[in-house]
Each structure stands twice: as structure tokens, then as C-alpha cells.
């Protein structure tokens, strides 16, 4: 095998709760995570030199060991004694700094691609262990689908695959610092917490209203204060006909759930003209077969 191509799909958080903080600074979370069709493309190819060469479509992305994909490939080459070099071609579509796990999903698919390309024979648990060294979302992105994530995000419990949801993803011009959001999160003053069990039950029952009603993300309280444009975007999505809307992760992207794809496309046209909007995508949920 000379090369492997992968789709690195984004994720959204349908519900995100923070329930504690550890002594090492990490937060304990309970989240309902969902893969969506919006994706980057990644291609890994064997080359005769022993180097790692990287190309991306975005000139500002690092192409050395400051890049998570490069780090993963470098680690696996060293760990498994791979003598070949690797050429990485990363085509980014998922917005950067948006709370959609763009970097994590690229890293996850790189682990899967390295396993295939060099026929390493690694099982999913081993690949998740590798991923966890580089980011809390990477184990989830290796598995994908509809999951309850606990611990710092690495304890994963599959949920029945969600019904197809029609989604509008909006990235404001502002990007959000995840470090800022978590460092300014005060668990004592949170006004409300999402009902994770009810979200899970809604997914299991294929009950759209129950899913929409139980959308919730405790990080919105912090992000909206520091980045008011994100609140503005959420309100704008609701105003153009979304059944419900929620910030994904720590932001800055916000997604809306729509009754059908046509309505979502109509809303996208309106939101592209909004002064605070940078990017708009119409997509759907993706379930792992």
C-alpha cells in the first residue's frame, strides 16, 4: 500500500456539562458528542526518504511539529520503528478554533491512516491510547458516531445512532480561546446544567423535540461574556427558523437544527450576509456504520 486517504469529520456537542475540576487543572465533563458530515480530507503517502513532509491548503497552518497531525505521524514513526518517510496532504474545510474538533479529527484519522499504511495491526483501544497522548477529543474522533463522553472526555459510551439532523454551522469572525473559557469557568456560579439523561433518552427514542429541548452547553455562559459575537450568532440562527441552536464545545461555532435541508439552505443565505459571520455550512449528522 502506497497511500491512504481519509475523511476527517467534525463533531458537535449536543449537550456539554462540566461537573468538576481536577488538581491537574483538567475538568471532568459529561457530554453527548455527535459526528457530522462536514469534513477535512487527509492523504498519507509513503516516501523513500525518512522525512515527514506536509502540505496544506491554508498558508497559515504550521507544517512541522507544531501541527498535531505532524506530531502524531512523528510519534508513530518513532514508536513502531517505521523507516519510510511520510508525505501528508491535509485539505482543511472545518473552521479552525471553532469547537468542532478540527485538529483532533485530523489527528485521529492520521492515526488510523498510519495503521493502515504501514499495516501495524493496531486495535481501536491502542489507537485511542495513542490519541489520548495528544488531545482529550482524539479518542472520540477515532470512534466517531453518537457517544456519551465522561472523565476528561476519554471515557466513551456508545449511544444508539442519532436520527438524521439537518444542521447549519456558523463560524463567527471571532475565534475563541479554549484556555480562556475554561480558566474563567466558575462551577459555583453556573446558572443551569443540561439534562444529559433526557438528551440520551431523546436520541434513543428518535424524538426530535426532546433532542432540541435538551440542547445545553454550560460553557456558553463564559464564552458569551468574553465573546459577545457568539451570542449574537446564536440569536441570529434562531431568528432565521432553527428549531434550536447551541454553541459547540467552547466555541466559537454555533450550530442550528432545522426541520429539513431546504429550510437550512434558506437560513444559510440570510446568515452569509450577517456582519459577524465568517463561514456558513449546511450539513447533516453522520453515523458510523
* Overall average pLDDT of the 1-25 stretch: 91
Name the grid cell of 61.
497552518
3-158 has which CATH code?
A: 3.30.230.10
137 is catalytic: yes
Q: What percent of the chain has pLDDT over 70?
A: 99
Identify the active-site residue in 6, 11, 171, 278: 11
pLDDT attached to residue 174: 85
- Pick the catalytic residue: 45, 106, 137, 278? 137
Q: What pLDDT shows up at residue 144?
A: 96
pLDDT band at 6 (very low <50, low <70, confident <90, very high): very high
**pLDDT at position 154:** 82
Note if 11 is an active site residue. yes
- Per the CB < 8 A criterion, the answer to whether 156 and 139 are in contact is yes
For 268, half-sphere exposure in the C-beta direction (CA atoms, 13 angstrom radius) is: 20
The reported pLDDT for the residue numbered 25 is 67
Percent of the chain whose predicted confidence (pLDDT) is above 90? 87
**Which CATH number does 166-284 carry?**
3.30.70.890
Q: How do residues 199-237 score in pLDDT, each as one tens digit? A: 999 999 999 999 999 999 999 999 999 999 999 999 999
Mean pLDDT of all residues in the chain? Answer: 95
Q: How does pLDDT run across 48-101, given as a tens digit for each residue?
A: 999 999 999 999 999 999 999 999 999 999 999 999 999 999 999 999 989 999
The pTM of the full predicted model, rounded to 2 decimals, is: 0.95
Please give the average per-residue pLDDT across 118-143, as a whole number. 95
**Spatial contact of 173 and 230, defined as CB atoms under 8 Å apart:** no
Bridge partners (DSSP) listed for residue 217: 16
Burial code (b: 16+ CB inside 10 Å, e: under 16) for 33-57 equals bbbbebbbbbebbeeeeeebebebe
Q: What is the pLDDT of residues 234-280, one digit of tens each?
A: 999 999 999 999 999 999 999 999 999 999 999 999 999 999 999 99
Q: Which residues on neighbouring strands pair with residue 91, listed in sequence order?
A: 41
Delimit the CATH 3.30.230.10 region(s) of the chain. Answer: 3-158
- CATH 3.30.70.890 residue window(s) in the chain: 166-284
The band of 189, judged by pLDDT with boundaries at 50, 70 and 90, is confident
Amino acid at each position: 500500500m502506497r497511500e491512504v486517504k481519509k475523511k476527517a469529520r467534525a463533531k458537535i456537542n449536543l449537550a456539554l456539562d462540566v461537573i468538576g475540576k481536577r488538581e491537574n487543572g483538567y475538568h471532568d465533563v459529561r457530554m453527548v458528542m455527535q459526528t457530522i458530515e462536514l469534513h477535512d480530507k487527509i492523504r498519507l503517502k509513503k516516501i523513500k526518504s525518512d522525512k515527514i513532509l506536509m502540505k496544506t491548503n491554508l498558508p497559515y497552518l504550521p507544517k512541522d511539529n507544531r501541527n498535531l497531525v505532524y506530531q502524531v505521524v512523528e510519534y508513530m514513526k518513532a514508536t513502531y520503528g517505521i523507516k519510510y518517510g511520510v508525505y501528508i496532504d491535509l485539505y482543511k474545510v472545518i473552521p479552525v478554533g471553532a469547537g468542532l474538533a478540527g485538529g483532533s479529527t485530523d489527528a485521529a484519522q492520521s492515526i488510523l491512516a498510519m495503521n493502515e499504511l504501514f499495516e501495524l495491526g493496531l486495535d481501536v483501544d491502542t489507537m485511542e491510547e495513542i490519541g489520548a497522548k495528544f488531545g482529550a477529543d482524539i479518542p472520540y474522533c477515532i470512534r466517531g458516531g453518537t457517544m456519551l463522553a465522561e472523565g476528561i472526555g476519554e471515557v466513551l459510551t456508545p449511544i444508539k445512532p442519532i436520527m438524521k439532523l439537518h444542521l447549519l454551522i456558523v463560524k463567527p469572525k471571532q475565534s475563541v480561546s479554549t484556555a480562556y473559557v475554561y480558566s474563567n469557568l466558575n462551577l459555583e456560579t453556573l446558572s443551569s446544567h443540561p439534562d444529559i439523561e433526557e438528551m440520551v433518552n431523546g436520541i434513543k427514542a428518535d424524538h426530535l423535540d426532546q433532542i432540541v429541548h435538551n440542547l445545553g452547553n454550560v460553557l456558553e455562559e463564559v464564552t458569551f461574556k468574553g465573546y459577545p459575537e457568539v451570542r449574537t450568532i446564536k440569536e441570529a440562527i434562531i431568528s432565521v427558523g432553527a428549531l434550536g441552536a447551541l454553541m459547540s464545545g467552547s466555541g466559537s461555532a454555533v450550530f442550528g437544527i432545522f426541520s429539513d435541508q431546504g429550510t437550512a439552505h434558506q437560513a444559510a443565505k440570510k446568515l452569509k450576509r450577517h456582519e459577524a459571520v465568517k463561514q456558513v455550512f449546511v450539513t447533516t449528522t453522520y453515523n458510523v456504520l
